Structure 1
Amino acid sequence: MAQYNTLLYYCYTTIEDAEQFAADHLKFCKSLNLTGRIIVAREGLNGTVSGTPEACRAYMEAVHADSRFNATEFKIDEVDEPSFVKMHVRYKEEIVHSGLRDPNIINPQIQTGKYLEPKEFLDMKNAEDVVILDVRSNYEHNLGKFKNAITLDIENFRDFPDKINELAKYKDKKIVTYCTGGIKCEKASALLLHEGFKDVYQLHGGIIKYGKEAGGEDFEGKCYVFDNRLAVDVNTVNPVAISTCYNCGKVTEKMINCANPECNEHFTQCEECGTAMEGCCSDACKEHPRKRVYDGTGYYVKVPQPVNKKEKVSLA
């Protein structure tokens, strides 16, 4: 039996005292000896935390006890060690950065795509009038995606609104969005509806829930996650590797961050190139004076920052 749990969750809800809540929530998480990353905004919570089963149970009970968060769904993974080294709770303008901050235009609490539960998605995804749309970033869908899914050339989710025109040809289709845990789909599907798409759905709970409840059928490759595991298996039905080494082209599912902190590129790299390149994506990064020591994992602990600092903070 695994000694730890990792919880993935989000909740769109109004938090009037979001900055103070973030500071208080950090203290609470530390009192439970949890590690993880949580974003707090006026529009809700977005988090991944890790700890003992008892600590995680206490955390979930506390979240559900607050009427603002009682509808929160937790995806629970059993892990052999904590998925983070430290505990961070950040206050930000959005719980997933989209640049769509006008609640009169995009507000998942008011309008969003219709939920499809994993088994409903499984039954629907291959229909001729259905388009499966991946709303994640390049480094995520390069590692793994649903078979025949439409992917977008975006570096960050905030680039998604600029791609709406590319999707116009699918307006007469049923559009089903998906992402890791569901949080991006809430805004992506809401934006599609705002832009005149009529029949919009989203995979409820994302790739992670689909893997747990429907076996992950037809999800090709691995799923990128925002903790020190970096990638997790999803498909137990018909798995296949689709990602290749950034440096040599060999098939590999190992995802890392470049050892050069000023690059920090997310990319797939085989074990051999990882050793030869010392965890870097290029020779220039390999020679960089601030290059971090590569330990074979490609995961690096972030430099601590003040809890409520508002500038952009990377999640991975």
Structure 2
Amino acid sequence: MQEILNIAAYKFVGIDDASMLREDLRSRALSAGLMGTILLAPEGINLFLAGAAEAVRGFLAGLRADERFADLETKESWSATQPFRRMLVKCKREIIRMDHPAIQPAAGRAPGVDALTLKRWLDQGHDDAGKQIVMLDTRNAFEVDEGTFEGAVDWRIDKFTQFPQALEEHREALVGKTVVSFCTGGIRCEKAAILMREEGVADVLQLEGGILKYFETVGGAHYRGDCFVFDGRRALAPDLSARSTHASARAPEDPDLAIKH
């Protein structure tokens, strides 16, 4: 029976009280019996949590009472067991490390495309302007090997900090096309989309909510394989069920990496 609610969420928003917020969120999460990871940085919040549904939703209600997180959107899935071993709340320089000053919360989000629109584009083979679509996987190579969109471009990076260099090497191949960057839950592909626009790639969109929101909304259309996740489930099928996989032994065990989206 699937009794554990798993949520993934992030938001780029200015945070100048991370240390104080850390103690508050840690206390509330532990009191609710939740496990997972929350990262806080000047650029925003990034979290993966799991627990009883009532406890998770109660924690989210308290978090959204802070006007900075009032519109925080989550991706949901269910599991029979708790996929995390502990509850961590950490303050970091970035909520997803890129080592590039691409994100400025005050400047707004990267433009995006929702799952239903993307499926329609993929069904018809082009966007609404008739342009060729390039699906750009911004995840690490071992994640891509678990599953990805049909025909997706994969630069075989081993960590997200390599993305800026990979972009420099492959940028010309993206010119004149509609590029849709995607990742597990949206955070890496949003940073990637902002960087690509800064570097002169004109038509770039992020997949809103990443693969998890796509699965939640339209299932596995145009996707092959599973979606690697950084917790005890290892990978999710398009119906968001946990599936036994042959995931690479290179998969990180570091709790800081266990929150990647």
TM-score, structure 2 normalization: 0.89
Matched, 1:30 2:50: no
What is residue 185 of structure 1 aligned with on the other side?
A: 189
Please provide the CA RMSD for this pair: 2.1
Aligned residue for 1:246? Answer: none
Instruction: Report what 1:114 is aligned to.
Output: 111
* Contact kept? 2:230, 2:257, Cα under 8 Å: no
* AA partner of residue 32 (structure 1): A
State the partner residue of 1:224.
Answer: 228
Show the counterpart of 1:146: 149
Distance 1:233 1:49 in 2: 19
Q: Corresponding residue for 1:73?
A: 73
Q: Percent identity?
A: 31
Distance 1:256 1:139 in 2: 6
1:10 corresponds to which residue?
Answer: 10
Residue equivalent to 2:200: 196
Aligned-pair CA distance for 1:256:
5.3
Q: Which of 159, 173, 179 is matched with 1:175 structurally?
A: 179
Report the Cα offset of residue 169 of structure 1: 2.1
Distance 1:112 1:232 in 2: 27
Q: Can you list the C-alpha shifts for 1:116-161, whole angstroms capped at 9, x where unaligned?
A: 1101011123325111100111111011110000011211111100
Q: Which runs of 5+ in 1 are unaligned?
A: 237-251, 258-264, 267-298, 304-312
Inter-CA distance 84–214: structure 2 relative to 1 (3 Å threshold): same
- What is the one-letter code of the residue matched to 2:112? Y
Distance change in 2, residues 1:36/1:16 (3 Å)? same
CA contact (8 A) 2:22 2:89 kept: yes
Letter in 1 for 2:24: D
Residue 235 (structure 1) shift: 6.0
Instruction: Say which is worse superposed, 188-197 or 18-27, in terms of deviation.
Output: 18-27
The answer to whether residue 156 in structure 2 is matched with residue 159 in structure 1 is no
Q: CA deviation at 1:224?
A: 0.6
Helix, strand or coil for the counterpart of 1:68? helix
- Confirm whether residue 213 of structure 1 aligns to residue 217 of structure 2: yes
Structure with higher helix content: 2
Q: Are 2:20 and 1:20 equivalent residues in the alignment?
A: yes
Structure 2 residue 112 is matched with structure 1 residue 123: no
2:95 is matched with 95
**How far does the alpha carbon of each residue in 1:172-213 deviate from its partner, in whole angstroms, 9 at most, with x for none?**
111111000001111100001000111111110110010111
Structure of higher RCO (CA pairs closer than 8 Å, 6+ residues apart): 2
Aligned to 1:44: 44
- CA–CA distance in structure 1, aligned partners of residues 69 and 174 of structure 2: 35
Residues 19, 41 of structure 1: 8 Å contact kept: no
SS state of the match for residue 192, structure 2? helix
Counterparts of 1:108 and 1:218, CA distance in 2 = 32
Structure 1 residue 114, shift from structure 2 partner:
1.9
Matched residue, 1:255: 247
What are the superposed Cα offsets for residues 201-228 of structure 1, whole Å, 9 maximum, x if unpaired? 1110110010111112121111011111
Counterpart secondary structure, 1:132: strand
User: Tell me, what secondary structure is at the counterpart of 2:93?
Assistant: coil
Please tell me the residue identity of whatever aligns with 1:156. K
Counterpart amino acid of 1:255? A
* Partner Cα separation in structure 2 for residue 83 and residue 115 of structure 1: 30
Distance in 2 (alpha carbons) for counterparts of 1:217 and 1:19:
42
